[in-house]
Structure 1
Amino acid sequence: MELPLETVALFALKLAYETEDKSPILRDDPIMSDYEREVFGLLVRRGDVDEIQSRVAHCVGLAMEALGGIDTPLGLELHKLAVDFSNARTMERLDAPLMALKDYLKDIQ
């Protein structure tokens, strides 16, 4: 689960901060320090659903702003997927909405 969490954060931060005239954001970029696979791994081992959701929500919120908010088609779909993720109450229930978020963010890159 750690890799998809890191990937969601990476794709969201790319949408929020990456521009054509700058170097791309990579997994080892300082902006990713709070969203590294090891950080998510620790949270997963602890079963800390709330903290995982909080970190993902922060990244997705930044991506949402970059997309123009909930009033845009891309933003509305991202919002729906983020709500599904935030409604999960257990680690097991995070999987499906996490994969949907990851796939969507990858598609809109």
Structure 2
Amino acid sequence: MELPLETVALFALKLAYETEGESPILRDDLVMGDYQRDVFELLVRRGDVETIQFKVDACVGLALEAIGGADKPLGRELQRLRAEFGSVQTMAQLGAPLIALEEYLKDIQ
């Protein structure tokens, strides 16, 4: 589960901060410091759903702003997926909404 969490953060932060013609954001960039796989691994081991949701919400929120907000077509879908991920209450429930977020962010890159 740690890899998809890191990937969601990476794709979201790419939308928020990456500009055309500049170096791409990579997993080892400073902006990814709080969103690296080992950080998520610790949270997953602890079963800390709330902190995982907080971290994902923060970077997805930045991506949502970057694509024009929830009033835009891409933003409406991202907001829906963000809300779905934020509504889960157990680690077992995180899987499907996480994969949906990951795939959507990958598609809109």
Instruction: Give me the whole-angstrom Cα distance separating, in 2, the residues matched to 1:88 and 1:98.
Output: 10
Q: Distance in 2 between matches of 1:23 and 1:37?
A: 21
Match of 1:2 in 2: 2
SS for the counterpart of 1:22 is coil
User: What is the CA RMSD across the aligned residues, in angstroms?
Assistant: 0.3
Q: CA deviation at 1:47?
A: 0.2
> Which runs of structure 2 are paired with 1:78-93 in the superposition (5 Å)?
78-93=78-93
Instruction: Render the CA deviation track for 1:35-63: whole Å, top value 9, x for unaligned.
Output: 00000000000000000000000000000
- How far apart, in 2, do the equivalents of 1:82 and 1:52 lie? 12
Q: Distance in 1 between matches of 2:84 and 2:17?
A: 24
Alignment TM-score, normalising by the size of structure 1: 0.99
1:29 aligns with 2:26: no
Report how many residues are paired. Answer: 109
Q: Which residue of 1 aligns with 2:16?
A: 16
Instruction: Deviation per CA, 1:66-101: give whole Å up to 9, x if none.
Output: 010000000000000000000000000000000000
- Structure 2 residues not aligned, in runs of 5+: none
Letter in 1 for 2:19: T
Percent of aligned pairs sharing the same letter: 69
Shift >3 Å, 4+ stretches: none
CA drift of 1:25 comes to 0.1
Q: Distance in 2 between matches of 1:95 and 1:84?
A: 11
Residues of 2 paired with 1:65 and 1:106: CA distance? 17
Instruction: Please give the alpha-carbon distance, in whole angstroms, between the structure 2 residues aligned to 1:20 and 1:83.
Output: 29
Query: Are residue 62 (structure 1) and residue 71 (structure 2) matched?
Result: no
Q: 1 CA distance for matches of 2:22 and 2:57?
A: 25
Counterpart CA distance in 1 for 2:67 and 2:20 is 16
- In structure 1, runs of 5+ residues without a counterpart are none
